[in-house]
Amino acid sequence: MTKHILLGAITALVLAPTAVSAADLPMKAAPIPVAIYDWTGFYIGVAGGGSLGTSNHIDPFGDAYTRGYNVKGGLVGGTFGYNWQMSSFVFGVEGDASWVSEIGTNPDDGPFVGNPAFASSTKENWLVTARARLGYAVNNLLFYGTGGYAGAGVTASVKDTGTNALIVSSSSTRSGWTAGGGLEWGFLPNWSAKFEWLYMKFDSPGFNTLNLGPGTRGSVPLDDNVVRAGINYRFGGPVVARY
């Protein structure tokens, strides 16, 4: 018994400094949360910029009345959409509607059917898109590609170059597709700014360019490039804590 008591005392004396040292060790600091921007949620915004496209007036046999011309102007409108973020990937849907002041005119100087006494023009009055977005987020920076439907209100007309008198005019709703990309920056918890480019290609309904009567309708093709910047407000709390 005395032997066991002696061994216990010796063991206690040996381990005592170790226990005291362990008690003196500093406590591990609690993890500090890091703010991570979360793009999930509904948003609305405004956007404006400029557009530059090309158009022409084509006769029923495929010959151009003009040599082609630029259609350019400004636009301003509203945006709405929704994002889902999964890890660093952001999936979204977005729609927008804009007022457009894009117009282009050129004398009918085509090499085959042109007549410089006339001038053809194309005017874009409004623009809408409905698109999907796929992006990659680096915290509060979002790089994205986008594509989908585009629609526009377009007026095609022909005037007398001498008197500027309107000879024929027709308005139509054009349907087409759009694709492009952009960058969005979350500069405040619920606010972001974006810059994007979109290319648009529209269908070309018949147009009676020289008032030739039924069965002789030509076409007025139109494509467009839109560059715009915007501000969005996102509902909800777009900043989450990550440890």
User: Is position 12 within any domain?
Assistant: no
d(CA 164, CA 5): 120
User: Is position 91 within any domain?
Assistant: yes
Number of folded domains that form the chain:
1
CATH number at residue 93: 2.40.160.20
Instruction: Provide mean pLDDT across the span 182-201.
Output: 96
For 77, 82, 232, the CA distances from 42, given in Å and listed in that order, are 18, 4, 10
Work out the percent of the chain whose per-residue pLDDT is above 90.
Answer: 62
d(CA 176, CA 113): 28
Instruction: Provide mean pLDDT across the span 196-203.
Output: 97
User: Is position 16 within any domain?
Assistant: no
**Is residue 241's pLDDT more than 60?**
no
Instruction: Provide mean pLDDT across the span 62-68.
Output: 86
User: What pLDDT is stored for residue 212 in this prediction?
Assistant: 53
Q: How many CB atoms lie within 10 A of CB 53?
A: 24
Burial of 146 (0-12, 13-18, 19+ CB in 10 A): buried
d(CA 147, CA 124): 20
Instruction: Provide mean pLDDT across the span 79-96.
Output: 97
Instruction: Choose the weakest-confidence range: 7-11, 60-64, 121-125, 198-202.
Output: 7-11
pLDDT tens for each residue of 151-183: 999 999 999 998 999 988 889 999 999 999 999
CA 147 to chain centre: 8
User: What pLDDT is stored for residue 26 in this prediction?
Assistant: 53
User: Is position 152 within any domain?
Assistant: yes
Burial 202-224 (b: 16+ CB within 10 A, else e): bebeebbbbeeeeeeebbbbbeb
pLDDT tens for each residue of 130-147: 999 999 999 999 999 999
The whole-model pTM stands at: 0.81
Beta partners for residue 164, in sequence order: none
User: What pLDDT is stored for residue 204 in this prediction?
Assistant: 86
User: Is position 21 within any domain?
Assistant: no
Hey, what are 208's tokens?
């009676």
Mean pLDDT of the chain: 84
User: Is position 13 within any domain?
Assistant: no
97 is in which domain, residue-wise?
Answer: 38-242
**Is residue 44's pLDDT more than 60?**
yes
DSSP state of 207: E
d(CA 233, CA 78): 12
DSSP state of 88: T
Torsion angles phi and psi, residue 11, rounded to 5: -60, -40
User: Is position 169 within any domain?
Assistant: yes
User: What pLDDT is stored for residue 209 in this prediction?
Assistant: 60
**Is residue 8's pLDDT more than 50?**
no
Strongest mean pLDDT among 29-43, 111-125, 209-223: 111-125
User: Is position 25 within any domain?
Assistant: no
HSE at residue 145, side-chain half, CA atoms within 13 A, is 1
